Structures are given as C-alpha cells and as structure tokens.
Amino acid sequence: MSLRDKMLAVMADVNSAVSEREELVELIAIALLTRKNLFILGDPGQAKSYAINAFRSRITGAKQFERLLSKQTDEEQLFGRLDLSSLIPGSVPEAAFEGDGVYQNLRFDLQSFLNGLPKMKNEAATFEKLAEIGGKLDAYRKAIAALHPCEPVVQTAGKIPEADIVFLDEIFKCNDGVLNALLTALNERKYTNEGRTYPIPTISFFAASNEIPNFNDPEEKILSALYDRLELKVVTENISEKSHRLAILKDKLGGSFGAVHATISLEELRAMQQEVATIKVPDSIHDLMDDVLCALRAQIPVSDRKFLSYFSIAQAKAWLEGHTEVTSTDLLVLRNYFWQQPSDREFVTGTLERLCVNPMQEKVSDLLAMAQDAKDDFDSACGAAENVRTKQAALRKFRGELVRLYQMQTEMAANAGSDSEKALTDGLLSELERISKAAHEAIGFTYGKGAGARKEISAERRTFEAVSVGYKLPGLPPCPLPAGISGVPSGFTGGNGENRCRWHTAERSDRGASGDGAEKPKHVRAVQSG
C-alpha cells in the first residue's frame, strides 16, 4: 500500500466515525501534510473535537497535547514550569540525569538493593552496603553539580514543547500572557522562557471555537494576530441528513462507534510530507492564482504573505487526488485558505469556481467583453461622426485594439491544454472575426473571405498591416492581395511607421510609398504600387 493509500484509508476511517465532516477531515490531513495550522468554527456539540481526536489517534508514535483554554489557563499549563532546583547552586535538576548512563546505573543498583532489604538478616552489613552504594550515587551527583551551570530549566514533559500534534479548544478564551507565547509557537514553532528560546517539534496546531472575536473591539483586536496564524479555516454545521444521524445512533448502540481500522506512523507522515513537496506547480497555475488574487482583492484583503504561501496547500490537495502536478481544480481547496470572516466564504468559493473550474472559459469571456467594449466605442464614434475621415480614424483605433486581442487569442490557443480549450479559442477567433466584420461593414467596407488565409500570412504579419486586405472603400479600387492569398482575416498587424499599407485611408493616393528607400517585401511593394 502506497503512502497516499494509507492516508486515504485513515481519512475514510475517520469519516466512517463522524458524519458530514468530509471537508474537515480532508483539511486535517492537508494541515498535517503541509505543517499548517487549522481553525474549526462551529457551535458546541458538532463533533469538532471528536473528529480531530479521531484523526490524531490514528497517527502512531506521535506525542499529543490537548487543552481546553480559559481565562485561568496559564503559560505553565501549556509550555511547562520552571524547575526551581535548576537555580539553586550545587543542585542539579533531575531532568539533567535522564540521559546519563552512569547515574542511571548507580540509581538502579541502589533501588535493587533497597528492594531486597527485607531478605537481609545482617543489619550491620546491610547498612554498610547501603552506605557504599548511596555514597557512590551522592558523590556522582555532587561531581555533576560542581560542573553544572546554574541555568533555568523548564520541565516540558507532556507539554506543547514536546508534542507533535496540539489541539487547543476554545482558543480565543486565552489570556494575554498565554497569547504572546502562542503567537511564536504557531508561527515559528519556538518557545521562549527565561530569556532562552527552544524549538518546538509540533507539526500542526488545531484550534476550535464556537465564535470569532470582534476584531473591531479594542479589547479583542489583540486576538487578530492569533487568528491570522491559523492559516486553514473551516466551518462545521449540524448533521443535515436524517439517515446520517440514524446511522451514528446505530453504531453507538452496536458498540462499533469509534473503532480504529487504519493508522499511519509518525515516520510515514514525515515521508508523506516529502512526497507532497515534490508535486510540481506549473507556471500556468501561478499565473492563474495571480488572477485569483486580483479578483479576491476587489472585495476582501489578501496579504502578500498569504498569497505567496498558497502552493503547499494546493500540492497537498493534488497529492491526495493522485496528481503529479497541481491542476486548476486542485486550487478549489483554497476556499478554506483565503477567507477571514464566515461572510467571505461565498465570495471566495464563487471566485475560485469561476476562475479555476474552467479558467480558459473565463479568459475567453473577458477577451470577448473587451472586444465588445471596443466595438461599442467604435459605434458611438461613428454615430456622432459627420465625415468619412472621422469614421476612418475610429476604425483605425478599433482595429488597433483588435490587433491586441488577436495576439492574446493566439497566445491562448497556443496554451490550450485540451480539445475543449482548443474549441473555446477557435470560437473566440470566430467571434473576433464577426465583430471585426460588423465594424467594417458599418462604414461601407466590403468584407472578403479570409479565415483560411491566417496561417499563410502568419510569418508576414510583423512586416505589414493586412487588417483590411479584402476590403474596399467606396470610390477606391480594392487593394491587391499577395500571391496565393484570396483574402485575409482582419486584425493582423506588424511592422512600424511607413512600412505599412495605407490603402485603406483617403491619404493613400497622396502619400503612396514611404520614400524612405528601404527595401520592402514583394507583397508590400505590390500593395503600395496598386
């Protein structure tokens, strides 16, 4: 069984123990795979704690810490207390001897001797032996004490500094003293005590609450920093389906509720994290996410720090889905990453679905909207114009915008990754041609067939403007076409300055060739001489 299969088995096992918590269970897995923190918001009695504990219990070898916070919770309850003996000259904290083999052997000998005292009849010999063994132990302690620096030692056994997974319920009930310690722990995985900083091995912090503080309240605003460090967020609801409620009742009555069938080891979890980190994130995904960022910032704040850290979550989702690289649909998991207030969830979800479910469709729609806006501006200019020169100027402006849109369409077509996306870009080209045709015909141009000539002129589009080849103005002869080309689609351009065909303006007969002496391509000379 692969590591991924093992994780999926654990997720399925937890989901069988809770109901309608698939999103929460997946986010617990993603948090562990990415070393992120997870916040769960929900009313009491919605199995928030149970789901977290059910998942934690299936990770063997992981040290756990759990605490229900209140205003009375102090720092020592979370991070350990100072061993006062460490501050007494000549005294050595017991923790300093935990890894000392010599000391432990001497202590074992003394304990074994004491355990055998009831069987000893020679009292004098007994006490002589006791003094011998005890003297060795005492002498060793004094020798170590003479070398031991008088530095503060914190007893952290069973506390956060030694925990791999931490669960803090009612996290916003903590006091200011605990808050400051938690900020560093959540963000940097460090803890400071008596001026010394200690690393914390914690993989993920899980936190739950039935409310979010009012950050506009000066007294609660201080909690905003803590809230910000809980990167992943999810909202739980009461079980909605009757059948699901009855199934849980049946499991509880049958005694099978909460049974563990699948586990992973702490070592396997670390190996999973390494696999997740190898999932490729294509440049196209980063580009798409930048579009998402801009769309989100139109309504909600998203910091650069948050945006620049999105990819690990997407990698974890892709890994769970069995993908070798992040796809656009994997980004939907970020609906639980970008929202700050529950009221933001609908907007964030809608934005991600709009841009990521079919990102090519969104880009096509945006480009068509730009083309239509340009056409509307052209129609307005022509409607208000009283002479042909003004209309021609409006047409030139309109065609300039179309040229830009054609170039964007070409790039989109080149990046199409599926038949459906290719169909979208082809449809976009047809629409651009339709809009171009309508604009030219609106001021009296005759549109010639040209869609089939696009490939034939693609190499020449940087040399001359062929946007109107195939059209003719009333009173002017049609522009001759390059050999073998019966017509050209509108919107192609290239070159600069005088290296452009000017037949389409009333100035053609007056200006003719550029006169700059530059050698023109044969087709350009033919057009200009026509």
Question: What stretches of 255-358 show up as alpha helix (H) in DSSP?
Answer: 266-277, 283-297, 304-307, 311-321, 345-356
Distance CA 452, CA 484 (A): 12
Long-range contacts from 475-484, C-beta under 8 angstroms, 24+ separation: 476/503, 476/508, 477/530, 479/503, 479/504, 479/527, 479/530, 480/526, 480/527, 480/530, 482/457, 482/523, 482/526, 482/527, 483/523, 484/456
Q: What is the pTM of this model?
A: 0.64
Tokens matching residue 463 = 């040399």
Are 170 and 266 contained in the same domain?
yes
Q: Any idea what the CATH number is for the domain that residue 283 is in?
A: 1.10.8.80
Q: Are residues 139 and 254 in the same domain?
A: no
Backbone angles phi, psi at 174, to 5 degrees: -70, 155
- Judge whether 30 and 130 are in contact, CB under 8 Å: no
Q: Which residue pairs, CB below 8 angstroms and at least 24 apart, start in 418-421?
A: 420/360, 421/360
pLDDT at 142: 77
pLDDT score, position 7: 97
180 with 135, same domain: the answer is: no
Q: Note the pLDDT of residue 515.
A: 39
Strand extents, DSSP E, 107-188: 153-155, 165-169
3-class secondary structure per residue, 202-250 = CCEEEEEECCCCCCCCCCCHHHHHHHHCCCEEEECCCCCCHHHHHHHHH
Asked whether residue 182 falls in the same domain as residue 264, the answer is: yes
SS3 per residue for 414-427: HCCCCHHHHHHHHH
Domain around 223: 3-80+158-274
Tokens 């020679």 belong to 122
Residues 214 and 162 in one domain: yes
**Residue reference for tokens 């300039």:** 400
pLDDT reported for residue 502: 26
| SS3 category, 329 | helix
Do 24 and 132 share a domain, yes or no?
Answer: no
Question: In this predicted structure, what is the pLDDT of residue 360?
Answer: 74
Picking from 355, 316, 308, 354, the residue whose alpha carbon sits closest to that of residue 333 is 316
Residue that finishes a domain, picked among 356, 376, 403: 356
Q: How far apart are CA 183 and CA 223, in angstroms?
A: 10
Pair (246, 163) in one structural domain: yes
User: What does pLDDT average to in each consecutive run of 10 residues of the chain (530 residues)?
Assistant: 95 90 95 97 88 93 94 90 65 70 84 74 76 83 70 79 94 88 91 81 95 88 91 92 86 75 95 97 92 94 93 97 93 95 93 83 84 88 76 84 87 75 82 85 61 38 37 38 36 32 31 39 34
Residues 71 and 133 in one domain: no
Contact 495, 522 (CB under 8 A): no
Domain boundary among 444, 477, 509: 444
Dihedral (CA of 325, 330, 334, 336) sign: negative
The per-type count for the chain, helices as H runs and strands as E runs, is 20, 11
Same domain, 28 and 172: yes
Q: How crowded is residue 489: how many other Cβ atoms within 10 Å of its Cβ?
A: 24
CB atoms within 10 A of CB 182: 25
Q: Do 21 and 169 belong to one domain?
A: yes
Token pair recorded at residue 47: 């199995």
Domain boundary among 122, 139, 155: 155
Structure tokens at 274: 């390494």
195 sits in the region (left: phi over 0; alpha: psi -120 to 50; else beta) called: left
- In this structure, the answer to whether residues 71 and 194 fall within a common structural domain is yes
> Whole-angstrom Cα distance, residue 53 to residue 40?
13
Same domain, 49 and 134: no
Number of domains in the chain: 5
